Chains A and B, each alone.
Chain A
């Protein structure tokens, strides 16, 4: 199976290289290119293979255990980081389908994103004056996402300490859900934005961390994709598009297409 996977990777990489030629006009393309796409996909053998969760597990165990990217880029405080991890896990929990946000690395995804353009709303209009507006005018709060997350984390732990004498990440799942529900329904107050603004950001970031390409540090071993039967970065489905029913292929990450001189 691993061999098949490698074969798929190299084939798709090869068709890419060919395509660069097409784009500069040095090759005849189209149907010719289509013929380069592997036609004998391991579809038939797919049925007899182990369930997808186990596949992910096998892959994970084959990889080095040390991951040097698992360090804070934005967060400074472990309790803050764990607050986000725990909240994300409640939004997308582990169950019999597979891992939840925690095991998928969503905390690391969010940490990384907060340290980048997402964190300081780089491509959004952030000039004043800031006014609340009607419910139909979209988000108008002045906080950058970093500040919104810091504020949300502060409020979550404040209520958690008050009601349960513990930090948010130390609570039982039901207690965490109660606090998240209060955020969602604006029963808690944040400085500068509504609690529901923060909750919605966190919800969307959690889903992004679950399903974005693993290059962003979430979606560990593409298990988010496996659960959803999304095959990832395939460049062609010319052989699958006429198939009836869900397409189940080994997930492919963008890293299988990125070239380097290394």
Chain B
């Protein structure tokens, strides 16, 4: 029998960006918030010796312990899913701050087109442009409605950047100026300009100068040490929950942070959600934390898993196409091209979000009438700082061990550069999340099962974008350019991209979405689910800025719910829905 604690106003499950934003916003206005985090508490001081590639990158120091809990994976419904036994395609963060601590800091607003992708595509290109096997849908909210929340998130983080020449005009400039434009970036920028493109600096949460945010939290100036992705920042110079929202929440006196608390179920009693059940990982005790509102803000995969375990919402069925929990699961496909050069570059210095980017082939910035895909990608060259265990690129034809490998991999460490794109990835009817019938986690509950494969649409977009990147690297003067290739089926093992979305998607229709545009569940008025899991598709940018904006909006919604305990949107009447 689980120990039952005293009730709190709000319990937050997982303290990454989404959870900590909700905790900070609600505790500031006087609500009592309990934050449950399965990992440990981490602070800036804990990363003073983080320049350890083996521990943090190869050893996955900051990631979910897969021995306790993983997911299973298959390419199609006629295969048997098997467990992801070790990390590969994507990583799942843990500890206080979650992925918001080990991220690179690229901070984007999804484009107006993203939020209305279905209606705008139909209107411009006709309803036949994309087969209905691709389950794209509008998000139930518009860019304009999200602007105030994007702005809040950027101000929280002191984002460094400049106006995207092809993007919506900003209502005000970024809180801090762009990072330094280095010689590598200048070369890439000039190559883009010669090709007629419109390069600009990547909006960055690894910030250019010291900044005090509206809550009084200080973020320091980036020192370009080159250890961002998969590391915590020892300078407190990367905006993260541990330097912004967590301290803000703590200062209110209304927030209790409880670590080592692994939530396994949302508890429903007498037809109403009354709290969450968690396992205390130190004592192995089961504990029930009652709350008026449950806010689910764990990783994309774990958000969906928790709803399915708790039997909240209707599980998605790809055959009948009914239900919505687990629907629209998307990875983020990242075409790339590596250029090999005759000269040496400064490749070890950098910052997670230090880069030059173009939007010329993103969103609907170019005509798709004669193309067999929609949307596109942001294409960037980032100077994130190369590290030697991970970076052993060799030109084609060189095998990956032996004398030639040693020589070529050492040479390429300073003489090769890779440009990547964050590319549209459309949801597909058969790419979805469900519970596995065989494999279980440490708590005896079924693992989440991922059914996913590459789609023809995404292959077409990858081919087109890959060609554009190749062109830029050639223009930059590479003697040889090698493009990324997609395998016959998506492979769970090689490293790919951590941006995975969907499963608890937002929308204007309770039949086709899990949450309304306040991220409140249609089926459970006092449950809010926030994260990449809300995205009905993956857009042409890194997702975190949009997650942050959604979290600020959700915090407003939760406060409204606590006023009068109501469903904040009626079907079809959600703010922003036409």
Contact, CB under 8 Å: B53 / A212: yes
A180 CB, nearest partner CB in chain B, Å: 8
B304 CB, nearest partner CB in chain A, Å: 18
Contact, CB under 8 Å: B182 / A29: no
Q: Max chain A CB contacts within 10 Å: which of B74, B345, B402, B413?
A: B402
CA distance A18 to B439 in the complex (A): 49
Contact, CB under 8 Å: B225 / A139: no
Contact, CB under 8 Å: A242 / B234: no
Residues of chain B in range 206-223 having any CB-CB distance to chain A below 8 Å? 209-210, 218, 220-221, 223
Of B59, B67, B79, B346, which one neighbours A134 at CB under 8 angstroms?
B79
Residues of chain B in range 59-73 having any CB-CB distance to chain A below 8 Å? 59-60, 65-67, 69-70, 73
| Residues of B contacting A25 in the complex (Cβ-Cβ under 8 angstroms) | 218
CA distance A30 to B235 in the complex (A): 8
CA distance A229 to B346 in the complex (A): 10
Contact, CB under 8 Å: A236 / B224: yes
CA distance A218 to B349 in the complex (A): 24
| Residues of B contacting A203 in the complex (Cβ-Cβ under 8 angstroms) | 400-401
B327-342 interface code vs A (CB 8 A; 1 in, 0 out): 0000000000000000
B45-87 interface code vs A (CB 8 A; 1 in, 0 out): 1001101111000111000011101100111000110111110
Query: In this complex, what residue of B is CB-closest to A92?
Result: B406
Instruction: Pick from A58-66, A68-76, A119-127 the stretch touching chain B.
Output: A119-127
Q: Max chain B CB contacts within 10 Å: which of A90, A93, A123, A213?
A: A123
Q: Max chain A CB contacts within 10 Å: which of B67, B83, B383, B490?
A: B83
| Residues of A contacting B51 in the complex (Cβ-Cβ under 8 angstroms) | 213, 232-235, 254, 257
Of A37, A91, A93, which one neighbours B223 at CB under 8 angstroms?
A37
Query: In this complex, what residue of B is CB-closest to A249?
Result: B348
Query: In this complex, what residue of A is CB-closest to B403?
Result: A93
Assess A129 versus B438: contact at CB under 8 Å? Given A22-B220, A95-B403, A95-B406.
yes
Asked if B29 is at the interface of the complex by the 8 Å CB criterion, the answer is no
Residues of chain B in range 394-412 having any CB-CB distance to chain A below 8 Å? 400-403, 405-407, 410
Assess A23 versus B43: contact at CB under 8 Å? Given A231-B348, A246-B347.
yes
| Residues of B contacting A235 in the complex (Cβ-Cβ under 8 angstroms) | 51, 223, 225, 234-235
Of A207, A237, A247, which one neighbours B389 at CB under 8 angstroms?
A207
| Residues of A contacting B86 in the complex (Cβ-Cβ under 8 angstroms) | 121, 124-125, 138-139
Contact, CB under 8 Å: B48 / A16: yes
Asked if A224 is at the interface of the complex by the 8 Å CB criterion, the answer is yes
| Residues of A contacting B490 in the complex (Cβ-Cβ under 8 angstroms) | 136
CA distance A135 to B494 in the complex (A): 11
Q: Tell me the interface secondary structure of chain A in the complex.
A: loop
Query: In this complex, what residue of B is CB-closest to A236?
Result: B223
| Residues of B contacting A122 in the complex (Cβ-Cβ under 8 angstroms) | 67
CA distance A231 to B70 in the complex (A): 36
Assess A95 versus B349: contact at CB under 8 Å? Given A34-B223, A245-B343.
no
Asked if B387 is at the interface of the complex by the 8 Å CB criterion, the answer is yes
Query: In this complex, what residue of A is CB-closest to B237?
Result: A30
| Residues of B contacting A16 in the complex (Cβ-Cβ under 8 angstroms) | 48, 234
Q: Max chain B CB contacts within 10 Å: which of A25, A126, A236?
A: A236
Contact, CB under 8 Å: B235 / A19: yes
CA distance A45 to B226 in the complex (A): 24
Query: In this complex, what residue of A is CB-closest to B87?
Result: A124
Of A31, A37, A136, A233, which one neighbours B210 at CB under 8 angstroms?
A31
Of A92, A136, A212, which one neighbours B401 at CB under 8 angstroms?
A92
CA distance A228 to B345 in the complex (A): 13
| Residues of A contacting B183 in the complex (Cβ-Cβ under 8 angstroms) | 242-244
Asked if A108 is at the interface of the complex by the 8 Å CB criterion, the answer is no
Asked if A149 is at the interface of the complex by the 8 Å CB criterion, the answer is no
Query: In this complex, what residue of B is CB-closest to A20?
Result: B45
Contact, CB under 8 Å: A225 / B388: yes
B490-507 interface code vs A (CB 8 A; 1 in, 0 out): 111100000000000000
Asked if B236 is at the interface of the complex by the 8 Å CB criterion, the answer is yes
| Residues of B contacting A242 in the complex (Cβ-Cβ under 8 angstroms) | 180, 182-183
Query: In this complex, what residue of A is CB-closest to B53?
Result: A212
CA distance A52 to B514 in the complex (A): 60
Q: Max chain A CB contacts within 10 Å: which of B209, B350, B389, B440?
A: B389
Of B65, B440, B492, which one neighbours A138 at CB under 8 angstroms?
B492
Contact, CB under 8 Å: A230 / B387: yes
| A-B contacts, 25 listed (Cβ < 8 Å) | A24-B45, A29-B220, A30-B237, A34-B223, A92-B405, A93-B406, A127-B83, A127-B440, A134-B79, A137-B493, A138-B492, A212-B52, A212-B53, A227-B410, A229-B348, A230-B386, A236-B224, A237-B349, A237-B385, A240-B224, A241-B180, A241-B354, A243-B346, A254-B49, A254-B52
Listed from nearest, the 4 A-B pairs whose CB atoms lie closest are A30-B210, A237-B349, A212-B54, A236-B223
Taking Cβ atoms with an 8 Å cutoff, the residues of B that contact A are 43-45, 48-49, 51-54, 58-60, 65-67, 69-70, 73-75, 79-80, 82-86, 88, 180, 182-183, 209-210, 218, 220-221, 223-226, 234-237, 343-350, 354, 383, 385-389, 392, 400-403, 405-407, 410, 413-414, 438-440, 487, 489-493
Q: A24-B45, A134-B75, A245-B345 are in contact. List 18 more A-B contacts (CB 8 A).
A: A29-B236, A30-B220, A31-B221, A37-B223, A91-B402, A121-B85, A125-B86, A127-B83, A135-B491, A136-B493, A212-B58, A229-B413, A235-B223, A236-B223, A240-B346, A242-B180, A254-B52, A257-B49
